[in-house]
Amino acid sequence: MKDKTPVLELQDIDMSFGPIDVLHEISLKVQEGEVLCLLGDNGAGKSTLIKILCGVYKPIRGAILMDGSQVEFNRPRDAADRGIATVHQFGGTFPLMSIGRSFFVGVEPTKKWGPFTFFDRKKANEIAVKAIQDFGITRIDDGNRLIGGLSGGERQSLAIARAVHFGARVLILDEPTAALGVKQAAHVLRIVNEAKRRGLAVVFITHQVLHAMAVGDHFAVLIRGGIAADFRKGDKTREEITDLMAGGETTEDLEIEFAIRDGPVEGRPHSAAP
């Protein structure tokens, strides 16, 4: 049985800024109802890849395909029109806006009174609260609440619910759990699984291996702008993935190095003082 056509595919993507190569020969694909975890440490090229996916940068070489057909993003609007939604680390929300207003920013529902057109606050609040509660965020029941009063996990959930409501097919999550506590991070991971259940293709960018393993189906490790490993769920252990992200330096090697530096390894005698 042949694999389904990926919703999103990158073929041999190269990116450079002047003489500096940032990405080279990046090939990835993600299916609907699948979570692709893109793992990498700081400086691995994750941010540049995100900007290519959402239309901020155009690659120097290579192709982007959606549903098997090549596409070209000249600006972020082009990617959004194709159903690619990006949620950044803090949800891309506006702290001094209400939930309803933030949910519909740029596409506000309106109502008329005589010759005047007004923002339909009631309609916006009702739709926003329902969309959030459908993702299991039952604590939010008032669309007039300010975004600034929400937790980090609730902001992430709001941004994801908004993307789904407006028809996203590919959801790109940029380090969504990096600044969250354990409980809030767990809630965001449940939201990611719900998005996957609804058939979205999710690209989950993170450097936290445990979070990736909790939701991921397909994994790629990015090191110095290249794909160091591409594997499926269950193919590698947590320790093996961590070692890959460290560029091949194993956890065991690090433990030995720290033991030698900080004190004698068990079973090894103390060296005599000079």
Q: What is the pLDDT of residues 95-142, one digit of tens each?
A: 888 999 999 988 889 998 888 898 999 999 999 999 988 887 788 889
- Residue 121: which domain range? 96-149
pLDDT single digits (tens) 176-187:
888 788 888 888
Beta strands 84-87; 170-174: pairing state: parallel
Burial of 195 (C-beta count, 10 Å sphere; 0-12/13-18/19+): buried
With respect to residue 254, please indicate whether it lies within any of the assigned structural domains.
Answer: no
Same domain, 45 and 103: no
Query: Region 247-261: what's the mean pLDDT?
Result: 57
With respect to residue 143, please indicate whether it lies within any of the assigned structural domains.
Answer: yes
CB atoms within 10 A of CB 138: 8
Same domain, 108 and 64: no
The CA-based dihedral angle spanning residues 98, 103, 109, 111, taken in that order and rounded to the nearest 10 degrees? -10
With respect to residue 248, please indicate whether it lies within any of the assigned structural domains.
Answer: no
With respect to residue 37, please indicate whether it lies within any of the assigned structural domains.
Answer: yes
Same domain, 181 and 74: yes
Q: Which residue has the tokens 């900080």?
A: 262
CA-to-CA distance for 159 and 135, rounded, in angstroms?
Answer: 11
Number of folded domains in the chain? Answer: 2
The answer, yes or no, to whether residue 254 has pLDDT greater than 50, is: no
With respect to residue 155, please indicate whether it lies within any of the assigned structural domains.
Answer: no
**254 vs 231, more confident:** 231
Same domain, 120 and 88: no
Give the per-residue pLDDT at 124: 93
pTM beyond cutoff 0.75: yes
pLDDT single digits (tens) 138-184:
888 899 999 888 888 888 888 888 988 898 999 999 888 887 888 88
Nearest CA to 173 out of 96, 185, 165 is that of: 185
User: Which helix (H) or strand (E) element contains residue 70?
Assistant: strand 69-71
Same domain, 102 and 76: no
Same domain, 19 and 87: yes
DSSP states along 200-266: -EEEEEES-HHHHHHH-SEEEEEETTEEEEEEETTSS-HHHHHHHHTTS--HHHHHHHHHHHHSPPT
CA-to-CA distance for 192 and 197, rounded, in angstroms?
Answer: 9
CA-to-CA distance for 213 and 231, rounded, in angstroms?
Answer: 12
Give the per-residue pLDDT at 259: 62
Counting residues of the chain whose pLDDT is more than 90, the rounded percentage is 49
Give the per-residue pLDDT at 272: 46
With respect to residue 243, please indicate whether it lies within any of the assigned structural domains.
Answer: no
At residue 222, φ and ψ (nearest 5 deg) are -105, 125
Same domain, 29 and 14: yes
Same domain, 86 and 174: yes
Average model confidence (pLDDT) for the chain? 85
When mean pLDDT is compared over 174-183, 231-240, 252-261, the highest value belongs to 231-240
Cα distances from 81 to residues 64, 76, 95, 118, in angstroms, run 15, 9, 26, 26
The answer, yes or no, to whether residue 258 has pLDDT greater than 70, is: no
With respect to residue 251, please indicate whether it lies within any of the assigned structural domains.
Answer: no
Q: What is the CATH number of the domain that holds 47?
A: 3.40.50.300
